[in-house]
């Protein structure tokens, strides 16, 4: 199984990275590629609508072009982001906004995805972002295998969150059954 992880956290070794790494370990025998979005230049969608015509690709020349290749070739997409003011990080939102070509070209249709969210107040702060991803997946015909919402704030706190770790274990089991 080819897995592409898209980490929207600015922290190199934060809670999002920990959850992603632990999920990767629990899935096992897979080809895993991790992208730290903060290290890439991802411009916002400018609503030029060029992706709705011709080759159905985004013409904006930035690092998103390499991410499109990773999205297209993966069997499982993993989106990991901390919550900033009840939403994903800005870089994660730019990344998701650039999915517009997939609405027409259908290249993500039928793929599986999971979401890993971390927030200081836990699930109560994650609900809007979880809904954003669910609606995005629905529009693009992506199968959501699960969303882990972890209560953690400082780097490393998630490692002691028994509920989040149990939820991650269940998610890994579900992935391994697909």
Between CA 103 and CA 5 the distance in angstroms is 21
Tell me which of 57-61, 92-96, 150-154 is least confident. Answer: 150-154
Q: Which helix (H) or strand (E) holds 7?
A: strand 2-7
How wide is the angle at C-alpha 132 spanned by C-alphas 127 and 133, nearest 5°? 100
Long-range Cβ pairs for the range 38-47 (8 Å, 24+): 38/8, 38/9, 38/10, 38/89, 38/91, 40/64, 40/66, 40/67, 40/91, 42/67, 42/91, 42/94, 42/95, 42/98, 43/94, 44/94, 44/97, 44/98, 45/94, 45/97, 45/98, 45/100
Residue 92, both tokens: 């994660």
Cβ-based neighbours of 130, under 8 Å, separated by 6 or more: 115, 117, 147, 149
Give the per-residue pLDDT at 130. Answer: 96
Between CA 93 and CA 79 the distance in angstroms is 11
pLDDT tens, 36-45? 999 999 999 9
pLDDT tens, 13-52? 999 999 999 999 998 877 999 999 999 999 999 999 999 9
Say which CATH number the domain at 64 has.
Answer: 3.40.50.360
How many domains does the chain contain in total? 1
* Residue carrying the six token digits 């592409």: 4
Q: What residues make up the domain containing 129?
A: 2-177
């Amino acid at each position: 199984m080819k897995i592409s992880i898209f980490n929207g956290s600015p922290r190199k070794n934060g809670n999002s990275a920990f959850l992603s790494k632990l999920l990767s370990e629990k899935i096992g025998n897979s080809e895993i590629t991790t992208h730290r979005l903060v290290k890439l230049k991802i411009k916002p969608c400018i609503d030029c609508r060029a992706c709705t015509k011709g080759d159905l690709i985004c013409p904006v020349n930035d690092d998103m072009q390499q991410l499109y290749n990773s999205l297209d070739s993966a069997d499982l997409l993993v989106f990991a982001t901390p919550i900033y003011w009840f939403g994903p990080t800005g870089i994660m939102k730019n990344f998701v906004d650039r999915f517009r070509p997939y609405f027409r070209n259908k290249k993500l249709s039928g793929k599986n995805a999971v979401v890993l969210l971390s927030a200081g107040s836990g699930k109560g702060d994650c609900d809007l972002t979880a809904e954003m991803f669910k609606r995005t997946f629905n529009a693009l015909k992506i199968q959501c295998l699960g969303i882990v919402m972890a209560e953690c704030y400082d780097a490393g706190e998630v490692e002691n969150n028994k509920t989040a770790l149990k939820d991650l274990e269940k998610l890994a089991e579900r992935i391994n059954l697909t």
